[in-house]
Amino acid sequence: MGLEALGWSVLAAAAAWAITLGWAWTAIARNRKSAEDELQYWQAEAVRARDMVIQLRQERAAWSSGCRQGREDVIAIMPLLVAAQQGLTTAVSPADTQEPAKI
């Protein structure tokens, strides 16, 4: 009877070890899959962030160019605005702007 109990004990220990090992391998595989999924997610986020940075740089360049052009336009029309405010504007016909013919 003692030998039989010892045999069952060894068999039970081996079965417990196999079940535990199987459970551990399953947990490791699940964690590895989860880590790979998370890695792919963050890599995709990094790509989206890089694309957004590129887009924002282009928008900033366009905005700066537009502001610069607007500033130049305001500076160009400023004398006309001042003259209009002071009432000094006169109607200029296209004939007045032509250069006289050189003889």
pLDDT along the chain (103 residues), means of 10: 89 96 97 97 98 97 93 90 78 54 57
Which pLDDT belongs to residue 101? Answer: 54
Q: Considering the domain boundaries, does residue 3 fall inside one?
A: no
Q: Considering the domain boundaries, does residue 49 fall inside one?
A: yes
Residue 31 domain boundaries: 8-82
Which pLDDT belongs to residue 98? Answer: 58
Which pLDDT belongs to residue 84? Answer: 87
Q: Considering the domain boundaries, does residue 92 fall inside one?
A: no
Q: What is the 3-state secondary structure (H, E, C) of the chain?
A: CHHHHHHHHHHHHHHHHHHHHHHHHHHHHHHHHHHHHHHHHHHHHHHHHHHHHHHHHHHHHHHHHHHHHHHHHHHHHHHHHHHHHHCCCCCCCHHHHCCCCCC
Which pLDDT belongs to residue 69? Answer: 93
Q: Considering the domain boundaries, does residue 73 fall inside one?
A: yes
What is the number of structural domains in the chain?
1
Q: Considering the domain boundaries, does residue 87 fall inside one?
A: no
Which pLDDT belongs to residue 14? Answer: 96
Q: Considering the domain boundaries, does residue 98 fall inside one?
A: no
Which pLDDT belongs to residue 46? Answer: 98
